[in-house]
Amino acid sequence: MRVHESILELIGHTPLLRLKTGIPPDGPAAYVKLEFCNPTGSLKDRITYYILKKAMDEGRLKPGDTVIDNTSGNTGSALAMVASVMGLKSIVTTPEKTSKEKIDLIKSYGAEVIITPEVEDHDDPEGFFMVARRLAEENGYFDLNQYHNQDNVEAHYISTGPEIWEDTGGRITHFVCGIGTGGCFSGAARFLKEKNRDVQNIAVDPEGSIFAEYIRHNREIKGYAYKVEGIGSDVVTGALHPHLVDEVITVSDKDSFNRARLIARTEGISGGGSSGAVAFAMEKIAANLGPEALIVGIFADAGIRYLSKCYNDNWMRQHGYLPEVEVN
């Protein structure tokens, strides 16, 4: 029989699928890793399961305890799902810009959701980051703290990296990944570099985020607001290991959203805005590569989370992202 006893057994081992959009036919092989095939629909199932299981195994957490974190949404549903299976309570803080679909999904797994105002400064006590830290401190909640938790990186070092290496038969030459906390990029990139130091690790950052300047020039600038969710940051995170970055590519909201929509309409792969950003960067990389190269990009979550956003024509038009004549 091929059966499973727990939803947690279905985390990881996500498929690699050929990507054609933007890749020259006589150019490199290009694949995307569909992290939306994880139970709650994003790569975050890997880190929440790894971190909570490790804490349980080490006696730092027990059933009935409360776990908390701040999130752009995906870690929220992953945390809530894993917590519910492990008999834990969960609280999530998230900013106003998080889509209704994501907030409803988090609640559907039984978590309490605290929506915080958009704040200028990361350290603003009213912002989702500081509210989570304060509540954890005041109530003794287990703080997942994904931005700085090295177990976030470890989760991808022991799962995402080895899966990519195995599923490409060790032929991968270029790894392309969006950076939010930086955990997925840093964990998988470290593993792939250990296997073959010639593998090129390409980080994808949205325009407006501070990461690109920090990675290129070790300078912390003031970022500006952008709409793509899950990647980019206004602070340097501990989960990002810049020494592993061979190249960083910045992508605009407009290019991210339009690429995600194009791929959904032409290849039936419905990813979120950060997947569009990764696919856009893969096109840039592929333009200078031949058939001997093999690119793998991370599609972190699914388009179904953004039906009221980048997959909504009015929303796209309102924000000036929809080109006059949409490519079909």
Q: Which of residues 185-204 bind ligand PLP (CB under 6 A)?
A: 185
Structure token digits, residue 61: 């957490």
Give the separation between CA 277 and CA 301, rounded to whole angstroms.
12
Task: Tell me how far, at minimum, the Cβ of 301 lies from ligand PLP, in Å.
Answer: 4
Q: Out of 34, 130, 184, 251, which residue is the one contacting ligand PLP (CB under 6 A)?
A: 184
Task: Tell me how far, at minimum, the Cβ of 24 lies from ligand PLP, in Å.
Answer: 26
Binding of residue 28 to ligand PLP (CB under 6 A): no
Nearer to ligand PLP, 254 or 309 (CB): 309
Structure token digits, residue 182: 């930086």
Residue nearest ligand PLP (C-beta atom): 230
Task: Tell me how far, at minimum, the Cβ of 201 lies from ligand PLP, in Å.
Answer: 13
Q: How many helices (H) and strands (E) does the chain have?
A: 11, 10
Place of tokens 């980048």: 310
Nearer to ligand PLP, 43 or 131 (CB): 43
Task: Tell me how far, at minimum, the Cβ of 146 lies from ligand PLP, in Å.
Answer: 7
Q: What is the DSSP string of 192-203?
A: HHHH-TTPEEEE
Nearer to ligand PLP, 43 or 289 (CB): 43
Give the separation between CA 205 and CA 277, rounded to whole angstroms.
8
Structure token digits, residue 42: 């994003």
CB 143 within 8 Å of CB 88: no
Q: Out of 161, 206, 272, 303, which residue is the one contacting ligand PLP (CB under 6 A)?
A: 272
Lay out the site mask for ligand PLP across 294-313 (x = CB under 6 A, - = otherwise).
Answer: ------xx------------
Task: Tell me how far, at minimum, the Cβ of 5 lies from ligand PLP, in Å.
Answer: 28
44 included as an active-site residue:
yes
Q: How far is CA 44 from CA 37, 115, 164, 266, 302, in A?
A: 11, 20, 17, 27, 12
Task: Tell me how far, at minimum, the Cβ of 256 lies from ligand PLP, in Å.
Answer: 10
Q: Which of residues 202-241 bind ligand PLP (CB under 6 A)?
A: 229-231
Task: Tell me how far, at minimum, the Cβ of 278 lies from ligand PLP, in Å.
Answer: 8
Binding of residue 274 to ligand PLP (CB under 6 A): yes
Q: Out of 74, 98, 116, 258, which residue is the one contacting ligand PLP (CB under 6 A)?
A: 74
Give the separation between CA 111 and CA 210, rounded to whole angstroms.
31
How far, rounded to the nearest angstrom, does the alpha carbon of residue 63 sit from its chain's CA centroid? Answer: 28
H or E element at residue 237: none
- Point out the catalytic residue in the list 44, 102, 227, 254: 44
Q: How far is CA 211 from CA 107, 160, 161, 279, in A?
A: 31, 22, 22, 19
Give the separation between CA 161 and CA 164, rounded to whole angstroms.
5
Lay out the site mask for ligand PLP across 33-62 (x = CB under 6 A, - = otherwise).
Answer: ---------xxx------------------
Nearer to ligand PLP, 27 or 182 (CB): 182
Nearer to ligand PLP, 215 or 231 (CB): 231
Nearer to ligand PLP, 145 or 181 (CB): 181
Non-local (6+) Cβ contacts of 152 within 8 A are 47, 51, 146, 181, 183, 187, 239
Q: Which of residues 81-120 bind ligand PLP (CB under 6 A)?
A: none
Beta strands in 145-279 (DSSP E): 174-178, 200-206, 247-251
Binding site for ligand PLP (CB under 6 A): 42-44, 72, 74-75, 178-185, 229-231, 272, 274, 300-301
Residues designated as active site: 44
